[in-house]
A and B are shown apart, each in its own frame.
Chain A
């Protein structure tokens, strides 16, 4: 494994009496694509929230790029999200009154300085160069997801975290998004992806299967269908 970028040590998350994650140990190396799979309620989204510094564990440690992210303050976690993480959501979460280009520039705005040309380039990269002035309501689900991906990539984050990126897409758009992820892997990006989709997971380097908040099994991507 390449240098470890992301590591969890006995990561536990409880919501009241419900244990969502139970002593999860996981490592992701630089440039690796790891898919997290599992049934509903297995803790996939919870672990992704912690990995993206949107939440903190109840117990255990989350080491991100050598820093104990579980011990950071809210303000420090905001900085980590801004600087190191690119987030891709199942529901896209685009600002409805901003155009595709402006939605991408929003991530630049919170990160450092907006740059219209860089944002346009990011949209062109996800095959959305022809729709930059369109509002989210004027875009299809697949197009909105591509804008969401461009927004996640615009600040060159160390890690890309995606929650069911193809969950709301039709087959054609699913393929486009999958191609984009494959390109990202070829560029050496670190990707952690939560998915129900075995075809998506098939292309990943490793699959972590969660069940009742525990790591049930780990395997390589092409073994997904038989795990």
Chain B
């Protein structure tokens, strides 16, 4: 028994010796095969790293276009004002990790020192996440209970001759509410907000005499992995008095862009794998042609087909694994470069990239080896050994 084990060990040593020396003697061919597999694996690693990270990155990019979900009072109810609590309850149905930002809005007309303006009560923290594209001169209001500050749209600020740090008196004729506020920031959105004045929701409620009320909530929800329509439908069923709708323009285009980009990446990965497979196959066919006599000799002195297949597959697997490992390292670096160039941020490492790169690359290597191995097995020693 000990003899058997020792024999197996020495034969394993011989197998590894043949493997090592046959790889060493064909350094250039081995390098071409290794390089082909490495480049293929690098591109697949880079693409799959971006693929798995793109949802977050693209969502972040597309979030710059604003909210994609609306919850408000139904028009048919006769009132455009809803209970803040009810809308908050509806919004709570969205998983917290899917909400990028959300803000309630309460609108009303107020009188300022130099004329009337639309006052909007908002949640500044949510609004900032919801509208990261707003250009703000000065600062955002960051404290919920700040009822001495406001932000003013750029057009309104110009018309009312307001600057950052200016004082403005807000008056609501119907309630007789009057408060002097400091302009913390002047916002430029290119839209209707440029003509509005923004205060905390609670303060707006007091100014407008609508405490605990809101007109609507705008939210930005991650579309990747979220059934937006299903969510809206469930919310609508539970709160029939509310008008719940995705803002299709953004959420749909986000999904479609993502799908198209991912499809394109999968196509590129497939093409790269195909080219790699062909390149490796061509090299291996050349290797088998070079080794015809050697294989014939091995068969003549007792190697069976299994031994020949084992020898060749082990060689290609060794080169393949080395190429894939090097390619994965290179691909991750490439992903970082692409991430910086396209999204301005690094691409996170994800374990899902390992099998996505390793399995197709090794399969491609084995597929590439299939024809050359078949050629090797079909070598007839009597024919090849008699050739001069």
Contact = CB atoms under 8 A, between A and B. Distances in A.
Given A97-B21, A102-B17, 17 more contacts: A45-B386, A52-B300, A54-B380, A75-B304, A75-B305, A78-B304, A82-B301, A89-B385, A93-B293, A95-B294, A95-B298, A96-B25, A102-B14, A102-B21, A106-B14, A106-B18, A110-B303
Interface of B: 7-8, 10-11, 13-15, 17-18, 21-22, 24-25, 293-294, 296-305, 307, 380-382, 385-386, 388
B302 A107 contact: yes
Contact of A93 (B17, B21, B297, B302): B297
A17 interface: no
B21 A82 contact: no
Nearest to B384: A93
A55 to B, nearest CB: 5
Nearest to A52: B300
Interface stretch (A23-31, A111-119, A171-179, A201-209): A111-119
A132 interface: no
Contacts of A111: 302
A81 interface: yes
A126 interface: no
Closest 10 CB pairs of A and B: A82-B302, A113-B7, A110-B302, A54-B382, A97-B25, A49-B382, A93-B297, A97-B21, A109-B14, A55-B382
A217 B253 CA distance: 92
Given A109-B11, A113-B11, A95 B302 contact: no
Nearest to B303: A110
Contacts of A87: 300-301
A221 to B, nearest CB: 26
Contacts of A105: 14
A103 B373 CA distance: 23
A70 to B, nearest CB: 14
A113 B10 CA distance: 7
Nearest to B299: A78
Contact of B301 (A45, A91, A96, A106): A106
A151 interface: yes
Nearest to B20: A97
B299 A98 contact: no
A78 B382 contact: no
Interface string A80-92: 0111000101010
A54 B302 contact: no
Nearest to B293: A93
A81 B25 contact: no
A151 B301 contact: yes
B381 A54 contact: yes
Identify whether the interface residues of B are mostly helix, strand, loop, or mixed: helix
5 contacts: A81-B302, A97-B25, A98-B18, A113-B10, A113-B11
Interface in A156-207: none
Contacts of B299: 78
Interface in A95-141: 95-98, 102, 105-107, 109-115
Interface in A43-90: 45, 49, 52, 54-55, 75, 78-79, 81-83, 87, 89
A110 B298 contact: yes
Contact of A107 (B301, B305, B385): B301
A105 B7 CA distance: 13
B11 A54 contact: no
Contacts of B297: 93, 95
A97 B24 contact: yes
A98 B16 CA distance: 12
Given A55-B382, A81-B302, A91 B388 contact: yes
A128 to B, nearest CB: 18
Nearest to B291: A95
Contacts of A49: 382, 386
Given A97-B24, A97-B25, A98-B21, A112 B301 contact: no
A75 to B, nearest CB: 6
A78 B18 contact: no
A78 B21 contact: no
A75 B7 CA distance: 23
Contacts of A112: 7
Nearest to A95: B294
B138 to A, nearest CB: 76
Contacts of A52: 300
B10 to A, nearest CB: 5
Contacts of B388: 91
A207 B303 CA distance: 32
B304 A114 contact: no
B157 to A, nearest CB: 82
A107 B307 CA distance: 13
